[in-house]
A and B are shown apart, each in its own frame.
Chain A
C-alpha cells in the first residue's frame, strides 16, 4: 500500500515535559501510591482486612501426603482425549516431536519422553470407546481434552468429564482444534467465547483452554505446541486420594511368557503367564498383593522385578547444565507404538525382538539354550586360565586353599569346570542325592531355589564362596563308583553325625564373619537359605575336624555349650530378620538362641534323637499347650533379684538413678521431662548422642553429653527469646510440617539397606520401572490384544478383594433420559473395576427402615445396594446402562459415592396382607383368608390391622377353623363387605450377581454386552410377553348400593316424641288439582296469545337469516385463512428441506472425516 516512512517519535529529553515524564516513570517504578489504597475509614479497613484473611483461607487446602518420591518421580500421565477425528493423533505426534525431535508414524500405547531434568511425561491417546475412557480417567494426571471448534462439544466430551469427576478429577486442559474451518473472524470470536464459557462451567471458572489453528506438515504449528508444552510442564498436581492409597501402573509393554508348547497343545486356550512392564505409580507395590486389570479381572502377581529405566532421567553430569542436553532430548520410550519392534535412538535404529532379555532381570526363568548362551557370554577368560587359577578349598570355612601337587589336582579341577555347564541341569538330581544323605531342609530349599533362578552368575558366586559344598555330594557319588577309598567313607560317616555336633563356639564366629557384610539379611529368596546351607556345611566340616580328636570334644561339653550360649546371647548380634522371615526354626528355638546351626546344640538329645524328639513333643504338649499371653514366671530367674548387685545395676533406669554412661538410652530422659520439646528432634539428637557416647572413652563421652545438653538448652533459649511468634505454627502449618517430617523419616529409614530387603519391607516404590509377572491370565487377553486400548494394572487393598453388599448414595444423571429401575442391571465403574450388578434402590424412611424404591427419584439422591466387590467408603463411582458406542444419548446414567459395605442388607418393601370378615359380632370379627395357618397367626398376634374404611383393630388369636382364620377386635363394628388389611414389611436382598466387564478379552472391544433386561431379550428373540389372566385389568362393575329402608317398630314409634318420629309418607298417587283442572280462554286472551305467537315466529325467522349471512362472511374468511396456511406450510417445507440438506452435508462430512481418520490422511 503506501510505503511512506512515518517520522519516528522523538521524546523530549529536556524541559518541563521531560521532567514530568521522568517523574511519572519514577513513580510507576516506585510501586503504588500508598495513599491510593489506604482505607478511608476504620470500618472499611476492618472489612478489607477481613476480606484478605478470608481470601487467604480459600487458598488453603486439606494437607495431603504426596507419596511420590522426589528423586525419581514416575512420568506424568498426559492423556489426550476427544471424539474421533478431532486431531488427537496429530497432537501426540506434534508433542512428541516437540520433545524428542522425532516423528512417529504410528501412535499406539503410552509414549514416554523426557521433558525436563526431573520430569518425564507419558502421553497416551484415548480412543473413543467408553471403556478406554473410563480406564484412562483413572490413571491420567493431566487430560488434554480436545474439542472440535468447528463443531462444538460432543456427547463423549461431557461423558468423559463426568467420568473424570467421579474418579477424582485430575487436571484438565482444553484444546480447541479445527478453528481454521471457521472462516469469518467474528464467528470465530463468538465460537471461541461460547465454547470457553461452556468449558468453564464444566470445569471451573478460568480453566485453561488452548486454541490450535490448522495443521502444517501433519503437525500443529510449532509455536502453539511449544506454548502448550510449557503449560504442561508448569502444571502442578495435587495428589488424588484414591491414587494416593493404591499402587498402579500403566502398562507400556506386555509379553506372553507361556511355553509355546503348552499353548500349542491347548490350541491357544490355556491360561497364560504374562508379564507387563511399566512405571509404578501411586503407593508402593508390595510383593504378594493382588492386582486388577480393568477389562480382564483380578490377577495374582507372581513376581515383581525392578528393571533398568528405559527412559532414564538425566544423570548427574548432564544435570550440571541448566538445560536438558540435546542427547537426552532424543529419548523416547514407546514399545507399543513401534510396529515391528523398531525403536529410534539418537543415531541408531533398534530392532526389538519380542522375548529379548535383559541381563538385569535375574528371576526370569530362562530356557536351557538361553542359559547356555548366556553362560558363554559370561566367560571372560579362557578355560586354560581358569584351570590355572582355580583353587580348591576343602571346606567353605577353610582359609587356605588345598595345596595338592599339581598333577592330579589339575586333572580334577579341569573336570570340574567341564561339569560347570550342566551343573544347573544336574541340580535336581544332586539335591535328591543330598537328601538321601542328610535329609536336611535347608539344602532342599536351596536346591530348588537355584533351579528356579537358574542364574549362572549367582550360582558361580555361591560356588566360589562355598567351596566344595554345592557339588560335594554328587561328586562323592561318582567317586564312589570310581572306587576312591577313604575320603568318601569319612564324609559319609560325618554326615551321619551331623545332627549330633555340638561344638558351636567355634563356628559361631565363622558365622558372624559371614553375617557382618550383609546387613539386610532378610532378603529371603536370594542368599539366606544359601547361607543357611553354608553354615550347616560349616557345621559338618567343623565336625569333621573335631572328629579326629574326639576326647577334646567330649571333655568340656557342657561347659563349653554353656559358655557359648552365654556369649551368644549377650555378645552376638543376631540377624533377627533372617531368623524370623527366612529360617524354619520354631519361635521357641529362636528365642532360646538356637542359631541356624541349632540341631547341634541339643547335645543331650543328640545321643538318641529318635526318642528325644518324641519326648520333647510330649513335654511340649503338657507345658506349652496353652495360648498364653503371660509367660510362666520362672521362680529361679526371679531369685536372682535377691542379689544386691543386680538390684543396683538397674538403678540408672529410673529417674532417680543419676546419669550412668553405661546406659545411653536413659541419659536424657530427665531432660526430656523438663523440656518436653519436640519429640522427633530430640530423638534424632539422642541417636547421634548415643552413638558418640558409646564409641568414645568415658571422658569424651562425658564431654559429648555436655555438648549435647548445651545444644539443647541453646535451642530452647532460641525458641523462647528469638521469635516466639515464629516458632508457633498454626494448625495448617503444623499438619504440613508433620507430613513433611514423616516423609523425611520414610525416606531415611530404609535408605541404606540393600534393595532386595528393602523391597521385602516396603515394596517397590513409585517411579521405578518394573516388570510384573501375572499368572493365570485368560488367553483371550493375549490373543485379542490391541495396543490402542490401555492396560491399567491397579493394585488392590486387602479389603477390596472381597465381595459383599455395597451401599451407595446414587443420583441419576439429569442428562440420562430414562429413570432407573430396581432390579435392572447397571454397569458400575468403581475403584479400578468395571462390572455389572443389580442394584436395589431405597430411601431412608424416617430413620426406621430402608424402604425399597421401584424407581430412582427425580433430581435427588437415593440409596442403592448391590452385590459386588467391596470398595472403601467414600469412593466415587459412575454407572452406565450400556457401554456400547452406538447407544443414543448420554450414557452416564448415574453417579454416586460408596457409603457402607456389609454382608447383609436391611432393605424392606411394603407388603399388605388382606382378609375378609366371615362373622361379625359387636366390635369383634372373625377374619379369614389373611393367613394360611395358625402358626402364621401366632406370629402376628397383636399386630395392627385396618379396614379400608379406616376402622383400626388388632389381631387377637387364631381360630381352630378354618385354617389361618383369626379373631380380631376393632374400634367399631365393621361390615361384612369391608376388606381388612395388615401392613407389613418384607425384607429383600439384592441378587448376588456380579459380572465383570471383560472388554479387553474381546476381539471387538467395544462390543461387550452384559446381562440383558427381560424386555430386551424378548424383543431380540421376538417373544411375546406372557400374560397372566389374573393380572389383566378388567372393568370394575360397581352395582349401585341398595340400602334397606329403616324400619322403626310401631311400638317404638309411638313412644318417640314427635320430633324424633320417622315422618315417612307415601308418594302422592292421585294427580294434584293443578294437574287435573281444565282451562277455558276468553276471545281477547286468545287473540293476545295468537299475536304473541306471530311475533315470536317473525323473530325466529330474522335470527335465521342473520345467521345465514354470518356464515357466508365466515366462509370467505376461512378461505383466506386456508390460503395463508398453505403458503406458510410451503415455507416450512422449504425450510425443512434446507435444514435437511445442511444436516446431510454435515453427516457426509462426518463420514468423510471418519474415512480420513482411518486412512490417517485428513483433507483440510
Chain B
C-alpha cells in the first residue's frame, strides 16, 4: 500500500515564510499557487527565490519545484540539517526577512545551525538584526532554548546597498518547553540601541536625547546605547536607526524601532520609535505583535500539555498563521478574552494543547 501524502494547499504570495516553515516542521509537502498572477511582474520575487535557496541549503532532501511562470511552487520538505551555512541576501529585503524563518527552524535541526547572512541589517519592513538579537532570541529562551543561542552583528549595512553581516548561532533541542505566560507585570526598564553608520556619530546621540524626552516621564531606568560602527564594518550606505525595548517585571519584552528616512531628522526617528513603543505597551499582552507568530508556533510545538499566553489582539499575520497552523498541525487555539469582567481590555488568552513535537532530526548517540 502506498503512503498517503497530504499536500497542504495555499494560495497567494502572502505569508510565504511561515507557510514554508510550517511545511518543513510538519514534514507535509506544500503547494502554493496564485503567486502574483495578475501582477505586471508575475511570480516569485528575487528575495523569495533567495529564501527558498536558503531553506534548501539549511535542509537536506528538500525538493522545490517552481512552475514555469513562477506563480506556483511545490515544496517537498526534507529534514532540517543545520550546520554551517552562508547566504547572501538580496538587497530587496533585509536580513530580518531571512532570519525569522531561520530562527523558527534552527532549534529543530540535526546539527547546531551557524548561519551567516550578508545584506541589509535593518530596514523598515522586517525586524532589524538588533531587535532579533535583543527581543526575538529572549523569546526563544522562554521555551528552553538558551545555551549557545547568539546573534553576532559583525557588520552593519543600511539600505540601499547593505554590506552588513550577521552570524546566527542556535543550539538544538529535543523538545521545547511548554509556556505558561499570563502575567504581563509592569514595565521596569527600557533599553535601546541607537546606531548610525556612515553618518555623523552625533546622530545617535541626538536620537537618544529625543527618545529620552518622551520616555523619561515614565521611568528612570532607561539606557540607550549608542552603537557606532566604523570603517569596513559600517556597510556601504549611510543610515541610522533606533530600536527600543521595554522589559517588564515578569520578563515581558515589547519592542519598537524606527529607521532613518531620506530627508528626516534623527529626532523624528526617535519620536516615532518611542511612540511606537508606547502604543505597543498600551496594547498589552505578554508578547508584542511582531513575535506573536513565533511564540504561537513554539506553543504548538510544545509537549502535549496546555500552554497559555496572554497577548494583545492578533495581527492579520497572526490570524493567517493560526489558520495555517490548523492546516499543518491540526491544532487550534482556544482564544478567550483574558479578563472577561473588564470591558476596555483587548487582551486575549491564547491556550493550546501542544502537539508533542519532538526533534526527530536530532541524532542520538
Cβ B1 vs Cβ A297 within 8 A: yes
Cβ A694 vs Cβ B4 within 8 A: no
Does A289 sit within 8 A of B, measured CB to CB?
Answer: yes
Cβ B332 vs Cβ A650 within 8 A: no
Residues of B within 8 A of A900 (CB): 110, 363-364
Instruction: List residues 710-756 of chain A with CB under 8 A from any CB of chain B.
Output: 742-743, 745-746, 749-750, 753
Cβ A899 vs Cβ B363 within 8 A: yes
A762 to B352, CA, bound (A): 7
Query: Least Cβ distance of B69 to chain A in Å?
Result: 17
Cβ B183 vs Cβ A682 within 8 A: yes
A151-159, A190-198, A619-627, A917-925: which one contacts chain B? A619-627
Cβ B341 vs Cβ A797 within 8 A: no
Residues of A within 8 A of B36 (CB): 625
- Of the candidates A581, A628, A656, the one whose C-beta lies within 8 Å of that of B323 is A581
**Which has the most chain A C-beta neighbours within 10 Å: B39, B127, B317, B334?**
B334
Cβ A809 vs Cβ B365 within 8 A: yes
**Contacts A633-B258, A761-B353 given: A647-B217 contact, CB under 8 Å?**
yes
Does B272 sit within 8 A of A, measured CB to CB?
Answer: yes
Does A227 sit within 8 A of B, measured CB to CB?
Answer: no
B197-205, B226-234, B302-310: which one contacts chain A? B302-310
The residue of chain B having its C-beta at the shortest distance from the C-beta of A570 within the complex is B344
Query: Least Cβ distance of A779 to chain B in Å?
Result: 12
Interface size on B, residues (CB 8 A): 107
Residues of A within 8 A of B281 (CB): 650, 653
Residues of A within 8 A of B182 (CB): 683, 687
**Contacts A570-B344, A627-B17, A901-B79 given: A762-B353 contact, CB under 8 Å?**
yes
- Of the candidates B60, B127, B187, B214, the one whose C-beta lies within 8 Å of that of A654 is B187
**Contacts A650-B281, A665-B183 given: A591-B316 contact, CB under 8 Å?**
yes
Bitwise, B281-293 to A at CB < 8 A (1) or not (0) is: 1101000011000
Does B185 sit within 8 A of A, measured CB to CB?
Answer: yes
- Of the candidates A627, A691, A798, the one whose C-beta lies within 8 Å of that of B26 is A798
Residues of A within 8 A of B323 (CB): 580-581, 587
Interface of B is mostly: loop
Cβ A872 vs Cβ B360 within 8 A: yes
Cβ B185 vs Cβ A803 within 8 A: no
**Contacts A289-B330, A901-B361 given: A591-B319 contact, CB under 8 Å?**
yes
Residues of A within 8 A of B33 (CB): none
Cβ B276 vs Cβ A633 within 8 A: yes
**Contacts A289-B330, A666-B184 given: A627-B16 contact, CB under 8 Å?**
yes
Does B267 sit within 8 A of A, measured CB to CB?
Answer: no
Bitwise, A663-683 to B at CB < 8 A (1) or not (0) is: 011100110110000011011
Residues of B within 8 A of A529 (CB): none
Does A1080 sit within 8 A of B, measured CB to CB?
Answer: no
A665 to B218, CA, bound (A): 18
Residues of A within 8 A of B39 (CB): 621
A632 to B305, CA, bound (A): 36
The residue of chain A having its C-beta at the shortest distance from the C-beta of B330 within the complex is A288
Cβ B1 vs Cβ A298 within 8 A: yes
Does A695 sit within 8 A of B, measured CB to CB?
Answer: yes
Interface size on A, residues (CB 8 A): 112
Instruction: List residues 759-775 of chain A with CB under 8 A from any CB of chain B.
Output: 760-763
Residues of A within 8 A of B61 (CB): 804, 902-904
Bitwise, B202-229 to A at CB < 8 A (1) or not (0) is: 0000000000001001111000000000
A297 to B308, CA, bound (A): 36
Does A996 sit within 8 A of B, measured CB to CB?
Answer: yes
Cβ B353 vs Cβ A284 within 8 A: yes
Residues of A within 8 A of B49 (CB): none
Query: Least Cβ distance of B88 to chain A in Å?
Result: 20
Cβ B28 vs Cβ A873 within 8 A: no
**Contacts A651-B218, A653-B187 given: A571-B343 contact, CB under 8 Å?**
yes
Cβ B364 vs Cβ A798 within 8 A: no
Bitwise, A1009-1033 to B at CB < 8 A (1) or not (0) is: 0000000000000000000000000
Does A353 sit within 8 A of B, measured CB to CB?
Answer: no
Residues of A within 8 A of B165 (CB): none
Residues of B within 8 A of A629 (CB): 96-97, 100, 125-127, 290, 317
Residues of A within 8 A of B (CB): 65, 67, 245, 283-284, 286-290, 296-300, 519-520, 522, 569-571, 573, 576-577, 579-581, 586-588, 590-591, 617, 621, 624-633, 635, 637-638, 641, 647, 649-657, 664-666, 669-670, 672-673, 679-680, 682-683, 686-687, 690-691, 694-695, 742-743, 745-746, 749-750, 753, 757, 760-763, 776, 778, 797-799, 801-804, 809, 869-870, 872-874, 897-904, 996, 998
- 14 additional A-B pairs beyond A577-B332, A580-B322, A656-B220, beta carbons within 8 Å, are A290-B6, A299-B4, A520-B334, A581-B323, A586-B316, A629-B290, A630-B126, A638-B276, A653-B282, A655-B219, A742-B178, A761-B351, A801-B3, A900-B363
Closest CB pairs A-B (n = 9): A903-B61, A587-B316, A288-B330, A669-B186, A297-B1, A587-B319, A694-B341, A762-B353, A576-B335
